[in-house]
Amino acid sequence: MPEDIVTILPELWIALGQTLLMLAIGLGSAVLVGGPLGVWLFLLGPGQSLDNRALFAVVGWFVNLVRSFPFIILLVALVPFTRALTGTSIGPVAAAVPLSFAAIPYFARLVEQNLRDVPRGVIEAAQAMGASDLQIVMRVLLVEARSGLVLALTVLAISFLSYSAVAGVVGGGGIGDLAIRYGYYRFQTDVMVLTVAILVVLVQALQWGGNAIARRIDKR
């Protein structure tokens, strides 16, 4: 093993943990906030139970507004809020704040799109049997769309793995920070290659795991 890589192994494990921490916080925020937001957006749409075109337009505009920000700009713009919330603007927890802000509307749109693929007849059948809106969401929409939602979360995880690397460049830590500090500034190409290889392995693992879970829970 090259001497450069042996030297940074302790830092490599720390950086990997930081990357996974940022990803976990971002995805957790997406599921807990973006998931309900996506369901609400779907229900506000034309022909749905909470049909409200004005509110649908406002919520949709807000979701699109946040999604339109390039992540690096969003990261810098949220520095004051991040510092107020976490007490610092550097480190993996601080970097997870803009990651969460970006992940929430992203996942909300993916949820909305997947719910739109649920056959209308299934929803109407549940309504005819007297199911409430909450029962339709929990027992019909989310059940019918669960395979697609898992794949959507997989896409989100892979996309935000690269975002976490960007966050590392501006003080967030993680694999991206390690690659820049050693692979770029110190011209240690073997370290750069190693960090890229680790990211490739993580992406493949996420995609394989997401596909496997989606196939397992798909009852169609």
Give me 134's structure tokens: 């909450």
**Total count of domains within the chain:** 1
Q: What is the CATH number of the domain that holds 211?
A: 1.10.3720.10
**Model confidence, pTM:** 0.88
User: 182 is in which domain, residue-wise?
Assistant: 3-217
**Do 100 and 26 touch, CB atoms closer than 8 A?**
yes
124-132: long-range contacts (C-beta < 8 A, 24 or more apart)? Answer: 127/49
The pLDDT assigned to 73 comes to 86
| pLDDT tens per residue across span 36-61 | 999 999 999 888 888 888 999 999 99
Under 8 Å CB-to-CB from 172, ≥6 apart: which residues? 18, 22, 90, 91, 92, 94, 95, 164
| pLDDT tens per residue across span 86-131 | 887 788 888 888 899 999 999 999 999 999 988 888 888 888 887 7
